[in-house]
Amino acid sequence: MDLSARRQVATWLFVCSAIVFCILVVGGVTRLTHSGLSIVEWQPIVGAIPPLNEQEWAETFEKYKKTPEFQLVNHQMTISEFKYIFFWEYFHRVLGRLVGIAFFVPFVYFWIRRKLSPRLVPKLIGIFILGGMQGAMGWYMVKSGLVDDPRVSQYRLTAHLSLAFLIFISMMWVGLGLVADRVRETADAALRRMQRIGFWLCVLVGYMVVTGGFVAGIRAGKAYNTFPLMNGHFVPPEIFVIDPWYLNFFNNMATTQFNHRLGAWLLAFIVPWFWWKLRSIPVSGRARGVATLLLIAIAIQISLGITTLLLQVPVAWGAAHQGGAMVVFGILLWLNHELRVARTGNATAK
């Protein structure tokens, strides 16, 4: 691929990543406003058109009235209130369709115009498959709340959230690879160590995403609304009250929130140390700049998390915290790329 084609494809992937970010934020609002079960059918094509008149709204509302959520929770809801929750779920689904089109159409164009290298095509096809899986997982998640309990499964919600991050990570990483300088191995042991730590920071942020999914899935953010202790305890005494013990990690509010807090504490200590260590080894000025950006993003994200918790998860704060996680992950991916191409003296590091 020539430089122009690489930049065009990278820009396309970054735009798609931005749409995925918007989907994540709207998805957070959808969850926090309890709007996710307002559309009881999965119609990828026909469902792109919302109700257009009062009769169609009445028919859609009647379908919602048959759900456990309406019968057990929202039985006094008016049609105007229904329209509000319908809007968020509809907007979320429209953005999902939009990113599918925004990915598929340019992919076909670049492929026909021979602007994609043979090594790149399988990666892009894999990302497209992940997108299809994400749509199916979204409906699979919604179905879990349309049976008896008017709440979606925390397992399916976490899988849905994790897939969104995986798609975002994949597009960002491929895009960064297209615009990065040529990559070479480094002989600098200190830099190689920082590269390994950068990778494990990505794993740690991934852990935060998964634990955050379970916190959201069982609404654990509504409990233990104190900081830095959890109702007076660093480790709540009730973290293993459920039998068998391993279910506490997925069903116990104390355990899921403790796990999420533990990851935040680790990031609060490791990222500043990582930033400081990068100042003492020969890396590029841009790598140091991105590391500083990561430090700021982590500080903001942890502050958002604490504020969200103390305020018992207001919609705006909760959605901002969820979006902040993707911002942190994006900056961390960028930093990992910069460390792979950072110039050290006369050598170029990978």
Residue 185 is predicted with a pLDDT of 64
How far is the C-alpha of 283 from the C-alpha of 341, rounded, in Å?
9
pTM of the model: 0.92
Residue 282 is predicted with a pLDDT of 83
Beta-carbon contacts of 154 under 8 Å, excluding residues fewer than 6 positions away, are: 213, 214, 216, 217, 218, 250, 251
Task: Output 229-232 pairs: Cβ under 8 A, ≥24 positions apart.
Answer: 230/254, 230/257, 230/258, 230/261
How far is the C-alpha of 318 from the C-alpha of 50, rounded, in Å?
27
Count of residues for the chain?
Answer: 350
Residue 350 is predicted with a pLDDT of 33
E-only strand ranges, the chain: 343-344, 347-348
Residue 270 is predicted with a pLDDT of 97
Could you say which residues of the chain have pLDDT below 70? 46, 181-187, 342-350
Phi, psi of 186 (to 5 degrees): -115, 145
How far is the C-alpha of 196 from the C-alpha of 70, rounded, in Å?
50
Q: First CA to last CA across the chain, in angstroms?
A: 20
List the beta bridge partners of residue 344.
347
How far is the C-alpha of 130 from the C-alpha of 270, rounded, in Å?
31
Per DSSP, 132 falls in state: H
Residue 345 is predicted with a pLDDT of 40
